[in-house]
C-alpha cells in the first residue's frame, strides 16, 4: 500500500501491456512505468552525468555498431 508522497516505480526490459498502462494512469497513487526504450533513453541522457560511485552500481558500457544503409 502506498502512503501519501510515495511513488511506485516499475521497470521492465520489455514493454507494458495496455492494461498496465491504463492502471498506472488511472490510479490515485503515482505509478511510473519505465519500459526498455524509456530506460535506454534515460541511460543515454543521464549516465555520463552520474558520479563514478553511482555508475559502479550499474556498470554499463556504450557499444556502437556500424551498419550499412541497405
Please report the pLDDT score of residue 62 as a whole number: 73
Asked whether 22 and 43 are in contact (CB, 8 A), the reply is: no
pTM of the entire predicted model: 0.67
User: What's residue 69's pLDDT?
Assistant: 74
Q: Cα–Cα distance between 15 and 30 in angstroms, integer?
A: 19
pLDDT in tens, the chain (70 residues): 778 888 899 999 999 999 999 999 998 888 999 999 998 899 889 988 999 999 888 887 778 888 877 6
pLDDT at residue number 70:
67
Residue tagged 544503409 (cell numbers)? 69
Calpha distance 33→68 (Å, rounded)? 34
Amino acid at each position: 500500500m502506498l502512503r501519501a508522497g510515495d511513488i511506485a516505480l516499475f521497470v521492465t526490459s520489455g514493454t507494458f501491456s495496455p492494461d498496465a498502462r491504463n492502471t498506472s494512469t488511472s490510479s490515485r497513487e503515482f505509478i511510473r512505468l519505465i519500459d526498455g526504450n524509456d530506460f535506454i533513453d534515460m541511460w543515454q541522457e543521464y549516465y555520463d552525468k552520474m558520479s563514478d560511485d553511482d555508475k559502479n552500481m550499474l556498470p554499463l558500457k556504450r557499444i556502437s555498431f556500424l551498419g550499412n544503409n541497405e
